[in-house]
Amino acid sequence: MQMKKLAAALMLAGLACAVAAEEVRVAVAANFMAPMKELAPLYEKATGDKLVVSYGATGAFYAQIKNGAPFDVLLAADAKTPAKAVKEGHGVAGTTFTYAVGKLVLWSSDAALVKDQKALLHPAVKKVAVADARLAPYGEAALQALDALKMKEAVEPKFVVSNNIGKTFQFVESGNTQIGFVALSQCFKNGAFTGGSGWVVPQDLYKPILQDAVQLKAGEKNAGAKRFLDYLKTSNEAAAIREAYGYGTVR
What number is the average pLDDT over the span 215-227? Answer: 97
Is position 1 within any domain?
no
**Predicted local confidence at residue 156, as pLDDT:** 97
Residues at the binding site for molybdate are: 58, 165
Q: Residue 184 in contact with residue 150, Cβ under 8 Å? A: no
**Predicted local confidence at residue 19, as pLDDT:** 62
Is position 4 within any domain?
no
234 plus 165 within the same structural domain: no
Give me the DSSP letters along 165-184: HHHHHHHHHHTSSSEEEEEG
115 plus 169 within the same structural domain: yes
149 plus 214 within the same structural domain: no
What number is the average pLDDT over the span 141-154? Answer: 98
187 plus 217 within the same structural domain: no
Nearest-angstrom CA–CA distance, 242 and 234: 12
220 plus 185 within the same structural domain: no
Q: Tell me what percent of the chain is helix, strand and coil, each rounded to the nearest 5.
A: 45, 25, 30
What number is the average pLDDT over the span 219-236? Answer: 96
* CATH code for the domain of 31: 3.40.190.10
32 plus 87 within the same structural domain: yes
Computed over every residue of the chain, the mean pLDDT equals: 92
**Predicted local confidence at residue 70, as pLDDT:** 95
135 plus 183 within the same structural domain: yes
Q: Residue 236 in contact with residue 89, Cβ under 8 Å? A: no
Q: Which domain holds residue 185?
A: 104-200
How many domains is the chain partitioned into structurally? 2
What number is the average pLDDT over the span 18-45? Answer: 93
**Predicted local confidence at residue 249, as pLDDT:** 79
Q: How confident is the model at residue 135 (pLDDT cuts 50, 70, 90)?
A: confident
**Predicted local confidence at residue 20, as pLDDT:** 80
Q: Residue 52 in contact with residue 26, Cβ under 8 Å? A: yes
119 plus 186 within the same structural domain: yes
Q: How confident is the model at residue 9 (pLDDT cuts 50, 70, 90)?
A: very low
Average the pLDDT over each of 41-45, 55-59, 110-114 and give the range with the smallest value.
55-59
Give me the DSSP letters along 107-166: EESSTTT-SSGGGGG-TT---EEEE-TTT-HHHHHHHHHHHHHT-HHHHGGGEEEESSHH
135 plus 62 within the same structural domain: no
Is position 251 within any domain?
no
Q: Is the pTM of this model over 0.75?
A: yes
**Predicted local confidence at residue 241, as pLDDT:** 97
